[in-house]
Amino acid sequence: MLITEELTYRHSDSFELTSIDLHIKQGEIVSLLGPNGSGKSTFLRLISRLITPGSGEVLLNGERLNRMKSQEVARNLAMLPQMQDHQLDVTVGELVEFGRHPHRSGYGKLSREDQEIIDWAIGVTKLEKYKNRMLQSLSGGERQRAWIAMAIAQRPKVLLLDEPTTYLDISHQLEVMELVTQLNETYGMTVIMVLHDINQAASYSDRLIVLKDGSVRFDGIPQCVLCKEMFHSIFEIDAEIFMNNGKYFFTPSTLEKGECYEG
């Protein structure tokens, strides 16, 4: 569904995303992992065409992304950037309405279909009672759901999420992860997201791609990517890997057993 061929992008002399060759299948949930500054956001920006590659291609369903019309790109891909402007002076309903923009021919009245999809997006994200509330008045978790509602109102085939759970407490993090699973299972959306919580990524993803210094270092199912060597070479930590209910997870093992921080 989404292929990158020898994708390269240079921000400066000190950072270059190099030769990214990936095939993302339809219906996959893929998490991008890697230290800060490893190029995760740059990669998402490239595949959503917010920036243009220095060389290489992104193919979406066999078509070159850089040849597609903007509306066509937006009908296929929705991107939730890393930090949203929380000062936006709009209601939840108005925000979600923006998501219909790529499907509309002008600024006229919303069609019945637009309205139904907006209501669907608000329903899926459980925001019905907040529809007329100002975005700024919502809690972090509700606001994140509102941004996701806007993205899915685009009815994208591929949903790109840059750190959708950062700054949320654990229950709201899990709520977002469950929503992502539901969008994938019920509506067949392909999801590519950046996560910092490696255990959550392993638990909710079909595939993990680990970047470091602008290149892909590990790519595979969680069971294969979660290994001591990955933690050592990418994050420079020692880790123990465990399995519970078919899910893989790790704990860092730099502290000796029983040792605790004495502050």
- Name which of residues 98 to 157 contact ligand ADP (CB under 6 A): none
Q: Does 10 bind ligand ADP (CB under 6 A)?
A: no
Binding to Mg ion by residue 203, rule CB under 5 A?
no
Binding segment toward Mg ion, per CB under 5 A, in 6-14, 33-41, 57-65, 113-121? 33-41
Residues 78 and 100: beta-carbon distance below 8 Å: no
81 scored as a contact of ligand ADP (CB under 6 A): no
How far from chain centre, in Å, is Cα 234? 20
Angle (CA) 158-118-45 rounded to 5° is 30
Asked if 165 interacts with Mg ion (CB under 5 A), we say: no
Tell me the window of 10-18, 127-135, 195-203, 219-227 that interacts with ligand ADP (CB under 6 A). 10-18
Binding partner of 93, given Mg ion, ligand ADP, none, CB within 5-8 angstroms per partner class: none
**In terms of Cα–Cα distance, which of 97, 95, 98, 91 is closest to 134?**
91
Distance CA 97, CA 184 (A): 22
CB of 162 vs ligand ADP, minimal distance in Å: 7
Residue 244 contact partner, candidates Mg ion, ligand ADP, none, CB within 5 to 8 A by sort of partner: none
Question: What is the secondary structure of 189-225 as a DSSP string?
Answer: -EEEEE-S-HHHHHHH-SEEEEEETTEEEEEE-HHHH
Report 12-41 residues binding ligand ADP (CB under 6 A): 12, 15, 34, 36-41
Q: With respect to Mg ion, which residue has the nearer C-beta, 99 or 164? A: 164
190 forms part of the interface with Mg ion (CB under 5 A): no
- Tracing tokens 């880790």 back to the chain, one arrives at 239
**Could you write out the three-class secondary structure of 38-74?**
CCHHHHHHHHCCCCCCCEEEEEECCEEHHHCCHHHHH
Phi and psi angles of residue 186, each rounded to the nearest 5 degrees, phi first: -85, -40
d(CA 111, CA 92): 19
Looking at beta carbons, which residue is closest to Mg ion? 41
Stretch that binds ligand ADP, among 7-15, 115-123, 164-172, 201-209 (CB under 6 A): 7-15
Residue count (the chain): 263
> Least distance (Å) from ligand ADP to the CB of residue 140?
20
Residues that bind ligand ADP (CB under 6 A): 11-12, 15, 34, 36-42
